[in-house]
Amino acid sequence: MIKSEKQINLNIPVAKKRSRQARRNKQSSRRGSAVIECAMTAPLLIVILFGTIDVGQFVNISQSVSNASRIGGRAASRQDTVTATAVQTKVKDYLFACGIPRDGVTVTVSNSAGQTISNLTTVPSGSAINVRVSVSYASSRFIRFLPDLANAANTSTTTMRRE
């Protein structure tokens, strides 16, 4: 004996149809959670971005200080350079062309014993001359609200022989 279709109970769950209002509430709650997630992560991403820019600028200034030290060493090693002031001027002009203000730059010209030299004509030919360039990073920063590199200084020393 076969049962009619009305008598068969297969226990198949029937998907409930949601009302439009229920679907809208669920979509708006998803939008709200996306806004909250964005509001929580955006400040962190911005700080990471600015930190990356700040470190990149520090490395760029470090490279410029190294180049300026070499330029100063070349100038100090030449016979036509008479005073340490001429070396300091060359170094500061180079760094100013790189966008670093002159007031944050310290240039020291010394002999191999570490004694500061002002008159380069007294240095015999073949003697070592040290040019030390130091730049305060705080004077040339773009992003000033990040405290990590505020007191850092870029320093480079070049040693060359006097001609």
Residue 45: what pLDDT? 93
Residue 100: what pLDDT? 87
Question: Looking at per-residue confidence, does 49 or 141 come out higher?
Answer: 49
Mean pLDDT lowest among 2-16, 44-58, 99-113: 2-16
Confidence grade of residue 42 (pLDDT, cut at 50, 70, 90): very high
pLDDT over threshold 80, residue 3: no
Residue 97: what pLDDT? 92
Residue 31: what pLDDT? 65
Residue 136: what pLDDT? 85
Residue 6: what pLDDT? 58
What string of DSSP letters covers the chain? -PPPGGG----PPPPPPPPHHHHHHHHHHHHHHHHHHHHHHHHHHHHHHHHHHHHHHHHHHHHHHHHHHHHHHHHHHSTT--BHHHHHHHHHHHHHHTT--GGGEEEEEEETTS-B-SBGGGSPTT-EEEEEEEEEGGGG-S--S--TTTT-EEEEEEEEE--
Residue 68: what pLDDT? 94
The arithmetic mean of pLDDT across residues 126-148, rounded, is: 81
